[in-house]
Chains A and B, each alone.
Chain A
Amino acid sequence: MNNDMIDILEDRKDQIHRTGAAPYAMDCQKRSLAGSVSQRACVFCGSRVVLYPITDALHLVHGPVGCAAYTWDIRGALSSGPELHRLSFSTDLREKDVIYGGEKKLYAALTELIAEYHPQAAFIYSTCIVGLIGDDVQAVARKVERETGIPVIPVQSEGFRGTKSTGYKAACDALSRLVGTGPTHHLPDHSINIIGEFNLAGEAWILRRYYERMGVHVAATLTGDGRVNDIRSCHGVKLNVVQCSGSMMHIAKWMKDTYGIPFIRASYFGIEDVSRALYDVAEFFGDDTVVERTRDLVRQEVKAILPQLSLWRSALEGRKAAIYTGGAFKAFSLVRSLRTLGVKTVIVGSQTGNQEDYELLRELCDEGTVLIDDTNPLELQKFIRETGADLLIGGVKERPIAHKLGLGFCDHNHERKLPLAGFEGMVHFGREVYASLQSPVWHLTYRSSGPCKEVS
């Protein structure tokens, strides 16, 4: 097949736009067309990534072994204590169970595991097949909860029930069973929850340190380095700060409706966005000391990283990037962060962005930027070649495509190895982009623009 001859499929035309062209409405949040080589995952995946970082809970995958095997310790969500979440527990359903039901197995597995590991709570993830064979997971959960005294929470994550976003919502519904069941008297006045932060490469720890320096207490992180008891008490805060809007907005909205706790959206990627996030929180409390401390913090941190960033910038100026993320919210920050580094964004796509996201992206990006919803490798390659991008930012399935095309790559997903959040995260991001683009390997490949210049 000639890759230069790729035509965009008729059905997908409304999921691809160029900024600056006629006004448009992105036809997003729809199911992938059957038969597409989609980069998307399923409901189970959405639930699993959101709940996985709760380190002292039991995560039991109810279904055939695959779903548990593929999600065994693949997300670098770090823990400062328990590591129970990094093991893989499965009821490993077999043919017999599909015929006669898996409830007995589920019960046995749960009781054995709880007796052995004494977790603070247990999550039972339903996979596709559980939804079909009609196991009464709720009943088993209630029984085990009665017998063991810990919360046993079913997660309605059957893969076919919707998209990955449906899975986020199922995870939030599961979490709402925990929230509000613990004491709050120990929480100081200036308390917040960090929501939608999964502590990849230790990012939640960076944010916690910032908030502590500001005089703001973080009651719970949902769910990075998460603890069940923190979550049970997290309704005692004054404010929820929601990152990665796609995945956990539901729980923030639910807490607003149920407990009257307001929320703000935040992104911690890039100087502008992280500063904005911290100032927003400080201003919310309206406490001059907090505002003053925040100002000091931002000033110190920015000052500390600027020299290094301008060095990266001198090497990267004029390079072009393509972005393909899960949620679209992250893409805003990436466009801005890349600008800080002198890199122009020429393609932005996401798996789960909504119309509002794409409208904001249109405003944010330079004219001519290609915006794509739920893309596939063929389209991605077509636009990369057309725009002459030098760098791709994406996840596991995109990395080798980038390298085959001779592009630099930065993983801004599960497999990031360095924290990219906060001010220090911006330096790491700069380093990753620079490291990938300066590599001498680009002298050896078919890519004409070659590596960027060496600056350190």
Chain B
Amino acid sequence: MLLRHTNTEVVEREALTINPAKTCQPVGAMYAALGIHGCLPHSHGSQGCCSYHRSTLTRHYKEPVMASTSSFTEGASVFGGQSNLLTAIETIFTVYAPDIIAVHTTCLSETIGDDIVQITAKATGKGLIPPGKYVIHANTPSYVGSHVTGFANMTKSMVTYFAQAVAEKKNKTVNILPGWVEPADMKEIRRLAGEMGVAILMYPDTSGVLDAPQTGRHEFYPRGGATVDQIRASGDSRITLALGPTASTSAAEALDSRCKVPFQTLELPIGLRATDRFINALRKAGKVEVPASINDERGRLVDMISDMQQYFFGKRAALWGDPDQLVSLAEFLHDLDMKPTYIVTGTPGRAFEERIATVLGGRLPEVKVRQGKQADMFLLHQWIKNEKVDLLIGNSYGKYIARDEDIPLVRHGFPILDRVGHQYFPTVGYRGAMRLCEQILNVLMDRQDRDSPEASFELVM
């Protein structure tokens, strides 16, 4: 009983997070920056920040994760990190030769008040940035928002640094801001758009970066990632589809105000209805028809759900993780006839509760939702101890609860430190929804097999 320290009495804690359901902004900024081709993320802070973020991403992806650090010293924390960043820019372009350095700040450099724009301008003045190379930045104070905020901020910076409206008339291209999803999900979004015949520009795009093949070499900058030219060209696109409001809205708004590209925000296309809305939005945006192949994919998903509906019926689930994933998951589980009873995200923002209420449409009065302050795994565990659930869906940090309470766990979200698959198999789109169904059914039915008495142990299910 690793979590034997969890008691059942829920008291409002004044100032304490136990077993967080979030982490800090910079790791999100680092992940987003890896979705630009030839980009080296740079952490402007102490050495540990960079090391922790790289380790976490490495554990999640089982891939090398390259990023550099300003290696702050006591002096830098007193006099500012300008000289560190100038040295860093010089070192990075000399030794690691990226096309872009994407700087993100940390709580330390934010509190000191380093002005990255001004420092970068100085670097340009000193000729430290080679021609055709770029330094971009995002402010990612660790004490505001969460890792998702950091992702959103870096994505927005891609727009503000690169996107340009050049042509007089917008072209047919549709921009897609995929939100914080896995490389496999980005690939799947691209496939769906291709199947629809819609030309898209997508960023960030970590496919081909964090799912690189074994080649006998370590590619410092793997082949994937959105190029600067692509990001720049997104200013001439007809429309932007921003997937996941928490991760993508701010970038879409920036693109609208800079380049007059209108946008539509959608929940992440996880599950049947959310994918329906995404496909429909893509259809309208691209002015195309939905091809039969996509209708078939949808039909297969519906077929799978109908074949197996008795196993989903009435199952209570607890979910934790990031707002954009949770909203869509909650909707999908409800469509599967399950009860997403407890939903927790450490990422603060009141809109979360409203979004959950919107997708559930008041159909599940017993649902408990918590975001922000003290919305952590400890609270979730207390809720579960008070009234059990049949299924857990979330990142690896749920495995303690799964073990202590003997509840099956489907891993979804960030980070997943103890399984593989999330990098390679999407959960967006109809096929992704089928994979989620498969994962859910596998654990529920394994459980039934394990627990059923010999007499009613069934071969055919």
Contacts and interface: CB of A to CB of B under 8 A. Distances in A.
Answer yes or no: are A and B bound together in one complex.
Answer: yes
A309 B52 CA distance: 36
A86 B2 CA distance: 8
B422 to A, nearest CB: 15
A128 B72 CA distance: 10
B90 interface: yes
B48 A159 contact: yes
A361 B143 CA distance: 44
Interface residues of B, number: 83
A69 B22 contact: yes
B97 A1 contact: yes
A95 interface: yes
Interface string A25-53: 00000011111111111111100000000
B68 interface: yes
Contact of B24 (A69, A86, A108): A69
B80 to A, nearest CB: 12
B71 interface: yes
Interface stretch (A175-183, A196-204, A264-272, A400-408): A400-408
A33 B87 contact: yes
Contact of A117 (B5, B50, B111): B5
Interface stretch (A129-137, A215-223, A276-284, A427-435): A129-137
A396 B7 contact: no
Output the residue of B67, B90, B106, B218 with the most chain A CB within 10 A: B218
A112 B14 contact: yes
Contact of A92 (B17, B50, B63): B17
Interface in A381-411: 381, 396-397, 399-401, 403-406
B72 A159 contact: yes
A84 B70 CA distance: 34
Contact of B66 (A37, A44, A87, A162): A37
A32 B15 contact: no
B108 A128 contact: yes
B76 A160 contact: yes
B197 to A, nearest CB: 36
A404 B212 contact: yes
A89 interface: yes
A42 B212 contact: no
B96 A32 contact: no
A66 B218 contact: no
Interface stretch (B54-62, B245-253, B299-307, B315-323): B54-62
Q: How large is the interface on A (under 10, 10 to 19, 20 to 34, 35 or more residues)?
A: 35 or more
A397 B55 contact: yes
Contact of A132 (B53, B112, B142): B112
B214 A404 contact: yes
Contact of B216 (A32, A87, A446): A446
A302 interface: no
Contacts of A84: 5
Interface in B197-221: 212, 214-221
A383 to B, nearest CB: 13
A304 interface: no
B261 to A, nearest CB: 31
Interface stretch (B39-47, B158-166, B232-240): B39-47
A350 interface: no
Contacts of B42: 35
Nearest to A37: B68
A404 B3 CA distance: 37
A74 B396 CA distance: 12
A39 B47 CA distance: 9
Interface stretch (A97-105, A142-150, A362-370): A97-105
B24 A65 contact: yes
A139 interface: no
Output the residue of B16, B23, B52, B221 with the most chain A CB within 10 A: B16
A388 B123 CA distance: 39
Nearest to B91: A35
Contact of A128 (B23, B88, B107, B214): B107
Given A3-B217, A83-B2, A378-B95, A72 B143 contact: no
Output the residue of A40, A92, A105 with the most chain B CB within 10 A: A92
B144 A95 contact: yes
A159 B49 contact: yes
A86 B58 CA distance: 21
B85 interface: yes
A352 to B, nearest CB: 12
Output the residue of A34, A36, A98 with the most chain B CB within 10 A: A34
Interface in B297-338: none
B253 to A, nearest CB: 22
A47 to B, nearest CB: 10
A68 B52 CA distance: 11
Interface in B81-96: 84-85, 87-92, 94-96
Contacts of A37: 40, 66-68, 96
A160 B286 CA distance: 51
Contact of B52 (A70, A104, A116, A162): A70
A140 B231 CA distance: 50
Contacts of A403: 214
A401 B54 CA distance: 13
Contact of A109 (B15, B45, B142): B15
B413 interface: no
A161 interface: yes
A376 B264 CA distance: 43
Contacts of A224: none
A22 interface: no
A45 B63 CA distance: 22
B278 to A, nearest CB: 31
Given A83-B2, A117-B5, A129-B108, A70 B71 contact: no
A447 interface: yes
A39 B214 CA distance: 22
A52 B23 CA distance: 19
B397 interface: yes
Contacts of B230: none
Contact of B220 (A66, A74, A378, A399): A378
Contacts of A159: 45-49, 72, 108
A9 interface: yes
B23 A70 contact: yes
Given A89-B18, A132-B77, A406 B216 contact: yes
B51 interface: yes
B141 interface: yes
Contacts of B89: 35
A83 B4 contact: yes
Given A45-B48, A63-B107, A160-B74, A445 B214 contact: yes
Contact of A89 (B16, B47, B69, B346): B16
B142 A64 contact: yes
Contacts of B224: none
B217 A405 contact: yes
Given A45-B51, A65-B24, A129-B107, A447 B17 contact: no
Nearest to B66: A37
B29 to A, nearest CB: 12
Nearest to A60: B16
Nearest to A117: B5
Q: Which 9 A-B pairs have the closest CB atoms?
A: A42-B48, A446-B216, A66-B24, A35-B88, A35-B91, A159-B46, A105-B15, A69-B23, A70-B52
26 contacts: A35-B69, A35-B70, A36-B71, A37-B96, A38-B68, A40-B47, A42-B47, A43-B46, A45-B48, A66-B26, A70-B52, A72-B20, A86-B2, A89-B17, A89-B18, A90-B20, A92-B17, A95-B143, A108-B16, A116-B5, A160-B77, A396-B59, A400-B63, A401-B218, A404-B216, A445-B214
Interface of B: 2-5, 7, 13-20, 22-24, 26-27, 40, 42, 45-56, 58-59, 61-74, 76-77, 84-85, 87-92, 94-97, 106-108, 111-112, 141-144, 146, 212, 214-221, 346, 397
Interface of A: 1, 3, 9, 31-45, 63-72, 74, 83-84, 86-95, 97-98, 104-106, 108-109, 112-113, 116-117, 127-129, 131-133, 158-163, 376-378, 381, 396-397, 399-401, 403-406, 445-447
